[in-house]
């Protein structure tokens, strides 16, 4: 037979060893298929003019002025180009706060602003989303850690669209 009295197949390899080897092969195949998807699925190829809006919350007037005087935006983490600021719209910072009686109410924070930045770039668009020229994903809800000539801050991407 194939299996002898010691549980070895053809007298050479044990069933347990065979199961472990098969498990390793299945895991290796799974890892290979997960991380080796075709490049056409990962990289967008169509270049278009993209604009996206970033909400920066709770900054002081100095940061607002620095953002107004800035143009080029880079990602603080990757140092990749993220676009140019084309519009800076400050508004009073109004956030929920717990009052002394335990209730929560929207309160205007003095000398603080919520700033909406409009950033433009020539990026890549595909079925899977929007990307910078260096293939960094631009997603609504993600945090952009940004650096400009005069300011270093972060904000949440709240809108993305192509410009015709």
Q: Using one digit for the tens of pLDDT, what is the confidence trace for 130-158? A: 888 888 889 999 999 999 999 999 999 99
Q: Please check whether residue 131 is in contact with residue 81, taking contact to mean a CB–CB distance below 8 angstroms.
A: no
| Residue 121: burial class (beta carbons within 10 Å; 0-12, 13-18, 19+) | buried
What is the per-residue pLDDT for 83?
94
**Each residue of 14-29: pLDDT tens digit?**
778 878 899 999 999 9
Single out the residue of 3, 152, 145, 157 nearest to residue 77, CA to CA.
145
Separation of alpha carbons 5 and 65, rounded Å: 83
Q: Say how many residues make up the chain.
A: 164
Mean pLDDT calculated for residue range 93-106: 92
pTM above 0.85, yes or no: no
pLDDT reported for residue 5: 72
DSSP 18: H
pLDDT classification of 54: cutoffs 50, 70, 90: very high
What span, in angstroms and rounded, lies between the C-alpha atoms of 121 and 123? 6
d(CA 23, CA 15): 12
Round to whole Å and give the CA distance between 161 and 158: 11
């Amino acid at each position: 037979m194939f299996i002898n009295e010691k549980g070895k197949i053809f007298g050479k390899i044990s069933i347990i060893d065979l199961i472990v080897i098969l498990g390793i092969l299945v895991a290796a195949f799974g890892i290979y298929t997960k991380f080796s998807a075709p490049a056409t699925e990962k990289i967008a190829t169509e270049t278009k003019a993209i604009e996206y809006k970033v909400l920066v919350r709770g900054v002081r007037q100095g940061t607002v002025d620095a953002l107004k005087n800035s143009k080029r935006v880079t990602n603080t983490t990757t140092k990749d180009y993220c676009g140019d600021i084309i519009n800076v719209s400050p508004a009073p910072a109004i956030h929920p706060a717990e009052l002394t009686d335990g209730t929560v109410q929207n309160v205007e924070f003095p000398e603080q602003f919520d700033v909406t930045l409009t950033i433009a770039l020539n990026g890549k668009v595909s079925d899977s989303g929007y990307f910078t020229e260096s293939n960094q994903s631009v997603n609504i809800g993600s945090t952009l850690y940004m650096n400009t000539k005069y300011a270093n801050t972060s904000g949440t991407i709240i809108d993305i669209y192509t410009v015709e």
